[in-house]
Structure 1
Amino acid sequence: MRLLLISNSTNPGEAYLDYPKYNIKEFLGEKPVKALFIPYAAVTFSYNEYEEKVNDRFKEIGHSVVGIHHFDDPKKAVEEAEAIIVGGGNTWKLVRMMRDNGLIDLIHKKVKGGTPYIGWSAGSNVACPTLRTTNDMPIIDPKGFDVANLVPFQINPHYLDDHPSNHGGETREVRINEFITENQDVYVVGLREGTMLNLEGDVLKLIGKRSARIFRYGQEPEELTGKDDFNFLLK
């Protein structure tokens, strides 16, 4: 399997998808790829707008995308995809649309068969076994929490250490601790902004200048950098 699971699309003060574009280029290779783009996480803007936004950046690195919404048969589009790209937005809406179109199991089978997969934010969430470590508001019934299950661990994208001033609610770490208390056999990777996980075959590594925070029930959270071994998460 080949996966590139990105925490966030945009760093503060930067253009959309600017910071990970060369990682995406390296991942897809030098030969031009026309990837299938799944824009279902978009809520307040159109799928066409989303597709155009992604395409503008991909053209800079010699690749392109075509939105799945242009196809009369979304299942066939997945089956024939050269690469699959799932954009961020609202995870609940994304999963509902993927489920309504019968794509979740198809994506699992296709990517397990070797088709490259790139996701950011919600697109990284749906590569996990469940959507339940998303940060998003459940604006729609996803008709089930199970997703593509491409990796055996959970990701919390946009992981934050900060506790905003004048905020009396729970921190992100508290919320993840609640999850692992209820799901004691599952690792959760707090994936900070500006970082991504890259799986090539059976080798998983962290890319980016910041560390990832690893959570497991009964263990103290652990900070791992790009120099550390992440393969234990695949077992």
Structure 2
Amino acid sequence: MKRRLLLVSNSTLYGGGYLDHCQQQIQEFFGEQVKRILFIPYALHDRDGYAKTARQKFQSLGYHIDSIHEDPDPVDAVRKAQGIFIGGGNTFRLLKTLYDQNLLVEIRRRVIEDGVPYMGSSAGTNVSTASINTTNDMPIVYPPSLKAIGLVPFNINPHYLDADANNRHMGETREQRIAQYHEEPDTPIVLGLREGSMLLVEGNKATLLGTTKARLFVRRKPPTEHEPGTDFSFLLTQSCH
């Protein structure tokens, strides 16, 4: 399998600017072969402003950004893309627009069959997985399905937060919400990516990168902690169901 994915938990890390914390990984990921990257800003309402932010950052790294919302034929834009980057925002808005524009199948084909590098951040990471069932976002719009692009056969929870013993908020913790998800039958593994972490997928190899640990949730098993550098390749052999 030719897939190459860089799945980032968050676009901005406290104390830094847009994508500053992962710019080295971005340059290593896209390399010198990719000159132009197709940016998909559908997760935010202000697509022009979002594209401007992405352009400024990627130009500083040596890449040209083409924003899909400026192309009259989005499917053709995906077919011609050298690389793809889907940014963060609201995951439901993002997935609905991908469905509306008939882009899921084409993105999956380009990445899986043609080896086009795919970068996702936050919501862009969510839609790369089996489904968006474990997103933190509010369903402000309704996609026709919660099934996502399926570039990997498991789910990711970006911005994973640990329980704070000093917080008086009595609502469910993130861990409890994921446990509730796993109470349903046939639910896939969930990888909780904390701020500052990202998953690099190259073919059938997956590696945790970044500065923070990840938390892995497997149905009917206790969650486990994993250090940066962990080989997560076994996740790629899981069934989506």
TM-score, with normalisation over the residues of structure 1? 0.96
- For 1:47-78, what per-residue CA distance to the aligned partner results, in whole angstroms no more than 9, with x for missing partners? 11101101111112111211101111111111
Does 1:188 pair with 2:206? no
Q: CA deviation at 1:20?
A: 0.8
Moved more, 3-12 or 157-166: 157-166
1:231 aligns with 2:233: yes
Distance 1:85 1:227, change over 3 A: closer
- Structure 1 residue runs without a partner (length 5+): none
Aligned residues: 233
Same amino acid, percent of matched pairs: 44
CA distance in 2, matches of 1:81, 1:32: 10
Q: Check 1:21–1:183 CA distance in 2 against 1; reply closer, same or farther (3 A cut).
A: farther
Deviations 1:73-125 (A, max 9, x none): 11111111111110000000001110000001111111102110000000000
Deviation at 1:222, TM superposition (A): 0.7
Match of 1:76 in 2: 76
Name the residue aligned to 1:65: 65
Q: Any gaps of 5 or more consecutive residues in structure 2?
A: none
Shift of 1:179: 1.0
| Equivalent runs, 1:117-196 vs 2, <5 Å | 117-163=118-164, 165-196=167-198
Using the TM superposition, give the Cα deviation of residue 3 of structure 1 relative to its aligned residue in structure 2, in angstroms.
Answer: 0.2
Contact 2:181 2:187 (C-alpha < 8 Å) held by counterparts: no
CA distance in 2, matches of 1:84, 1:106: 12
Encode CA deviations 1:139-183: one digit per residue, 9 max, x unaligned. Answer: 001111111000001000000003372311000000001111214
TM-score, with normalisation over the residues of structure 2?
0.93
Give the whole-Å Cα distance in 2 for the aligned partners of 1:128 and 1:194. 19
1:39-58 aligned at under 5 Å gives the runs: 39-43=41-45, 46-58=46-58
Question: Separation in 1 of the partners of 2:146 and 2:57?
Answer: 31
Instruction: Output the CA distance in 2 between the equivalents of 1:125 and 1:60.
Output: 26
Q: 1:214 aligns with which of 216, 225, 229?
A: 216
C-alpha deviation, 1:31, in angstroms:
3.9
Whole-angstrom CA distance in 2 between matches of 1:222 and 1:12: 25
Q: Which amino acid aligns with 2:150?
A: N
Contact 1:32 1:62 in 2 (8 A): no
Structure 1 segments (4+ residues) deviating >6 Å: none
